């Protein structure tokens, strides 16, 4: 995956460099800190995870000066989180979860509007699709298992910037029920629906040296509890399960270069 992303980064840079002055590209590396929390039916926390991921992303934008703009961004990240939860017998369980993440985002922004001095503001809207792969490691007699989350989001936002490259961004969005494909040990794979997703984000950044900039962003993403689904073995129902209410908090630092 990382090799494919690096190849796409190089292709985007070459495309933008040859396309003309209205086109922009940005290649970025980032570090991300995460908190993942799952809450049971009785309101008690049943899973808590904390960890860090590294990532790469690429952005290609059509951005004429003083006009509307369109942006396509994609990326990947990888890492892990420390897991604290409960076994099926109700005992404390500590292990690690290995993570990988891919996403694509399409964004449109209206023409900049004057805000005062050298500052301007723009409304924007975006659509995202992402996929998380999460694998719980074994812990003693408890066997680990893989999961695959998929979710789409629609977001609205406002951003304010100045001629020097400073940028402040606020976004909020929601999305239909996604899914979690889980492969429990000794059971058939099952698709558990996620509840409705809601996202709140804030970002701050600034230009540095020629072509370089830094950005910091924070997000709170929640999923309502999903609907019950049967868990089967060779097609025979054995039990039922649902995806609990889940909250993900993310803090990301990004360093990028572009033209």
Q: What is the mean pLDDT of residues 206-227?
A: 95
Q: What is the pLDDT of residue 142?
A: 82
109 contacts 159 by C-beta, under 8 angstroms: yes
Q: How far apart are CA 198 and CA 190, in angstroms?
A: 24
**Counted domains in the chain:** 1
Residue 61 has pLDDT above 60, yes or no: yes
Q: Which two tokens stand for residue 11?
A: 């292709």
pLDDT, mean over the chain: 90
Residue 256 has pLDDT above 60, yes or no: yes
Q: What is the pLDDT of residue 204?
A: 97
**Which stretch of 57-66, 130-139, 241-250 has the lowest confidence by average pLDDT?**
57-66
Q: What is the pLDDT of residue 128?
A: 97
Residue 72 has pLDDT above 80, yes or no: yes
Beta-carbon contacts of 86 under 8 Å, excluding residues fewer than 6 positions away, are: 46, 47, 92, 93
DSSP code, position 209 = S
Residue 151 has pLDDT above 60, yes or no: yes
Residue 250, domain CATH: 2.40.128.100
- pLDDT tens-digit series, residues 81-110: 999 987 766 778 899 999 999 999 999 999
What end-to-end distance do the CA atoms of the chain give, in Å? Answer: 25
3-state SS, residue 145:
coil
**Which stretch of 17-21, 179-183, 187-191 has the lowest confidence by average pLDDT?**
17-21
Q: How far apart are CA 39 and CA 98, in angstroms?
A: 21
Residue 11 has pLDDT above 70, yes or no: no
Residue 198 has pLDDT above 80, yes or no: yes
pLDDT band at 115 (very low <50, low <70, confident <90, very high): confident
Residue 47 has pLDDT above 80, yes or no: yes
Residue 10 has pLDDT above 60, yes or no: no
Q: What is the pLDDT of residue 2?
A: 56
Q: What is the pLDDT of residue 119?
A: 93
Residue 134, domain extent: 2-258
Q: What is the pLDDT of residue 18?
A: 52
Residue 3 has pLDDT above 70, yes or no: no
- pLDDT tens-digit series, residues 15-26: 545 545 788 889
Residue 74 has pLDDT above 80, yes or no: yes
Residue 13 has pLDDT above 70, yes or no: no
pLDDT band at 41 (very low <50, low <70, confident <90, very high): confident
């Amino acid at each position: 995956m990382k090799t494919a992303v690096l190849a796409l980064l190089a292709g985007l840079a070459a495309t933008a460099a040859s396309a003309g002055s209205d086109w922009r590209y940005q290649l970025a590396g980032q570090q991300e800190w995460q908190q993942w929390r799952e809450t049971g039916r009785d309101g008690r926390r049943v899973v808590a995870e904390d960890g860090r991921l590294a990532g790469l992303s690429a952005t290609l934008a059509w951005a004429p000066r003083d006009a509307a703009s369109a942006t396509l961004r994609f990326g990947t990240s990888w890492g892990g989180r420390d897991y604290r939860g409960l076994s099926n017998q109700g005992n404390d369980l500590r292990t690690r979860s290995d993570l990988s993440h891919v996403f694509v985002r399409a964004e449109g922004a209206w023409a900049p509007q004057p805000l005062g001095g050298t500052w301007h503001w723009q409304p924007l809207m975006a659509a995202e699709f992402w996929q998380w792969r999460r694998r719980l490691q074994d812990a003693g007699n408890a066997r680990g298992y893989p999961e695959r989350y998929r979710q789409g989001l629609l977001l609205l936002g406002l951003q304010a910037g100045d001629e020097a490259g400073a940028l402040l961004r606020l976004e909020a969005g929601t999305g239909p029920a996604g899914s979690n494909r889980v492969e429990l040990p000794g059971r058939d794979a099952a698709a558990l629906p996620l509840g409705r997703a809601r996202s709140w984000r804030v970002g701050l950044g600034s230009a540095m040296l020629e072509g370089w900039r830094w950005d910091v962003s924070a997000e709170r993403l929640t999923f309502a509890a999903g609907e019950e689904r049967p868990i089967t073995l060779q097609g025979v129902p054995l039990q039922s399960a649902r995806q609990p209410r889940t909250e993900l908090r993310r803090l990301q630092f990004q360093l990028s270069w572009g033209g």
